[in-house]
Amino acid sequence: MIVIKKFNGELPVSFDPFMQEKECMVNATEMANIFGKRVKDYLKNDRTRAFLKVLEIELGNSKKDDEKDQNLKVQRENPPFETENIRSENDRNLESQEDDSPFETDDEFSENILKVVKGGRNSGTWIHRYVAIDFAMWLDPRFNYWVVKTIEEILFGYARKRDLSFKRTLEIKDRMKLLKEKENPTGEDFTEFLQLDAEQKQEQNNRSHLTSTRISEIQILIFTESDMLGK
């Protein structure tokens, strides 16, 4: 399930919350295109390569060299499935970076850290969200902030909105209880009570809408995976 966002109205950047091992991946080629830079230059950086090695260890991806070579061979020989009907607006720019393979470096990394997709609507170099945040800072500080906020919203926005809604509902209920227990309620108290009751119902509707939207997103993801597996 690809989520496409635009930075300052420029070329879009694709985010996939569940692309690899349920990890959020970001299209680094699209990120680089916004600033006229190449992913390969970032990956050649000694600091970058050191960071990727740390991720390999911390995410439990360390493999023997022969396993890495076999995975790389399979990846190159088997083009990925196209999982979206949405075509990125800067596909034409991706073509100019076909030779921008991160595997030209000495080190090769697991696909849930760095993955190359050749051809199709989702082509480009995809990187783990941790790497995307680091890459964004390498590109531009303001862009880095935008990437962090976007990833946060995609991964945690639903839960945060529900939590805030529940918190507001509890506040409303506490206030309504105080008004009901008031010995000599006024007309203003009655008006406030009705307003709070309406707001409480609205919060319930908001949560129902959030849940329905989330269920629809998950169903799309399941159907997409089924199509990819030929089920």
User: What domain range includes position 197?
Assistant: 156-229
Among 111, 139, 167, where does a domain finish? 139
27 falls within a domain: yes
8 Å CB contact between 24 and 15: yes
Q: How far apart, in whole angstroms, are the C-alpha atoms of residue 121 and residue 81?
A: 10
Q: Closest by alpha carbon to 30, among 111, 192, 154, 147? A: 147
Whether 110 and 180 map to the same domain: the answer is no
Q: How far apart, in whole angstroms, are the C-alpha atoms of residue 116 and residue 136?
A: 18
Number of compact structural domains in the chain: 2
The runs of H, that is alpha helices, within 6-63 are 28-34, 39-44, 46-58
pLDDT digits (tens, 9 = 90+) for 48-95: 999 999 998 888 765 444 454 454 444 444 444 333 333 444 544 444
149 falls within a domain: no
Strand 114-117 to 23-27 pairing:
unpaired
Among 139, 171, 192, where does a domain finish? 139
Q: What pLDDT, on the 0 to 100 scale, is given for residue 37?
A: 94
146 falls within a domain: no
Whether 89 and 165 map to the same domain: the answer is no
224 falls within a domain: yes
Whether 31 and 72 map to the same domain: the answer is yes
Whether 47 and 134 map to the same domain: the answer is yes
Q: How far apart, in whole angstroms, are the C-alpha atoms of residue 99 and residue 84?
A: 24
Whether 102 and 173 map to the same domain: the answer is no
- Provide the residue-wise pLDDT of the chain in tens; the chain has 231 residues: 688 888 887 788 888 876 545 678 899 999 999 999 999 999 999 999 999 999 988 887 654 444 544 544 444 444 443 333 334 445 444 444 445 555 444 457 888 888 898 877 788 999 999 999 999 999 999 999 999 999 888 877 666 667 778 888 899 999 999 998 988 989 998 999 999 999 999 888 888 877 776 676 556 555 554 454 454
pTM of the model: 0.57
Whether 13 and 91 map to the same domain: the answer is yes
Whether 37 and 95 map to the same domain: the answer is yes
207 falls within a domain: yes
185 falls within a domain: yes
Among 108, 139, 170, where does a domain finish? 139
124 falls within a domain: yes
